[in-house]
Amino acid sequence: MPKRVRSKSCDRCSIPAEILYRVQYDDSGRWKFVCLTCYPIVSRNNPAYVYGGTWKAEKY
């Protein structure tokens, strides 16, 4: 079986991360994935912010 590593990049800063937060942070109603660095930035003082869970890369 080939090793399948999922990776995902932050929708805000485009840096790949192993853990991303699934959030809505604008009025588009679309889910976006943000890294731990961007998370406090998009969630702070943001009435459009909605938390939708945490995404983690599979270990193997």
Binding site for Zn ion (CB under 5 A): 10, 12-13, 35, 38
Pick between residue 23 and residue 38 the one whose CB is nearest to Zn ion: 38
Pick between residue 4 and residue 53 the one whose CB is nearest to Zn ion: 53
Smallest separation, CB 33 to Zn ion (Å)? 9
Name the residue among 31, 42, 35, 41 with its Cα closest to residue 9.
35
List helix spans (H) across the chain: 39-43
Smallest separation, CB 20 to Zn ion (Å)? 8
**What are φ and ψ of residue 53, in 5° steps?**
120, 180
